Amino acid sequence: MTPTKSEEYLQLNPDAFTRFFICKEILKRDFGKNPIKLLDVGGGSKYFRSALKQDKLPYELTVLDILPPPKETRGYSYIQGDATKMEFNDNSFDAVVSMDVLEHVSDEKKPDFLQECYRVARELVIIAAPFESVETTQAETIANDFFHSQHERNHPWLIEHFEQNKPTSELMESEVKKFGCPYIQFESNHLQAWLKLILTNFVSEALVDPTGVRAINQFYNENLLRLGDFTAPGYRHFYVLYKNAKLTKDFSQYFKLVPSASDQLVLEQRMTELFVNKLKLDLDAQKAATVAVGELTTALEHATQNTSELRTALQNIQNSKSYKLARFLANLRRKIVPKHKS
C-alpha cells in the first residue's frame, strides 16, 4: 500500500526528517502562525514544505537553489541563483534557513555563504549542517563504504562532504562573532543512533523488507524527543542566530526532552527484528526449497524406475516365443503376398 503524503513525511530517513522537524519547530516557536517571509537556501526538498504544511504554517516561502527550477512550484517561489551572491536586498526575509547545504559549499566560499544568509535576513537565521570532527568523518566513511557494498557506487552527498569538507565550529564561531548577534548552538542526531539508522536505510531492499525500514523510521521520528536525539556527540549542528535580539531563547524553550529508556529498548528490538525476520524468511524459503528438491528427486527416481520396468517388459516381450512367432509370420506374409501395383 502506498503511504499517504503525511505518512511519507513521517517515514523519512531520520537523517532527513530531524532537520526539517527541528527547523520547523524553531520557526513555529518564534513566529507562530504569522505570515512571515521565509527563505530556504538550497531547499530542494519537498519535505520541508511538508513539515510546514503539516502544522498549517502560512509562511510565504521562497527557495533559492543553484539547480534549475522543478516543474511543479505550486505554493512557493523558486529562484535559481548563487547563495554566495544573492540578488536580494538587505533584510528581505523575516527568516532565512539553510539545512545541510554549507557542507556542499567550497571552503573559500563558506564565509560568503554565511554572510549572505545573515545579510538578507531581518530577524532570524537558522544554519544546520554536519560539522567536522574525527568521529563524524569516521561515521560518514563507514556509511559510505557500506552503501558502496550494497549498491556498487558511492553515496553522492557523502562523497561531496569528503570533497568540499564539512564546516568547522571555528569557522562558524568566527563568522557569528563578526555578526555580533546573540545565538544558540546545539547538536542533533546522536552519532551512534545516526549511524545505525543510516545503515538500516542503506541496506538493499533485496535483503530487508522496506516496509519494516519505514516503520522503524516512523517510530524514531514520532518519538524523537524521547530517544536521546539531541545527545552529544551529534551528527548535525544547529546555529540559531538572532538578528532581532528580542527573539533570543535557550534550547529548553524550543524543545522539552522526555528521555525514555523504554522507547530506546523498543527501537533496538525493532531494528534487531527487522534483520532476524528476514533471516527467518530466508531460512523458511531454504527449507521449502529443500522439500521441493526432495520431492522432485523422488519423482525422478520413480520415473526412472518406471522407465526401467517398461524397458524390461519390452525386452521380455521381444524375447517371448509369441513375439518371435508373430515376427516370423509377418515376414513370411510379406514374401508370399505380392505387392500391390498401382
The alpha carbons of the chain give a radius of gyration, in whole angstroms, of 35
| pLDDT digit string, tens, across residues 89-119 | 999 999 999 999 999 999 999 999 999 999 9
At residue 282, the pLDDT reads: 54
Pairing of strands 183-190, 121-130: unpaired
Number of other residues whose CB lies within 10 A of the CB of residue 15: 18
Q: 140 CB contacts (<8 Å, ≥6 apart)?
A: 130, 158, 161, 162
Mean pLDDT of the chain: 89
Q: Does domain 5-259 have CATH number 3.40.50.150?
A: yes
pLDDT over 90 (residue 76): yes
Band of the pLDDT at 342, cuts 50, 70, 90? very low
Band of the pLDDT at 289, cuts 50, 70, 90? low
Q: What is the pTM of this model?
A: 0.80
Outline where the chain has alpha helix (H): 5-10, 14-31, 46-54, 110-120, 134-151, 156-164, 169-179, 191-202, 210-222, 261-319, 321-336
Domain boundaries, the chain: 5-259, 283-335
DSSP 140-194: HHHHHHHHHHHHSS--HHHHHHHHH----HHHHHHHHHHHT--EEEEEEEEHHHH
At residue 340, the pLDDT reads: 56
CA angle 183, 184, 189 (to 5 degrees): 145
pLDDT over 60 (residue 283): no
pLDDT over 60 (residue 176): yes
Least confident of 153-167, 257-271, 321-335: 321-335
pLDDT over 50 (residue 15): yes
Band of the pLDDT at 273, cuts 50, 70, 90? confident
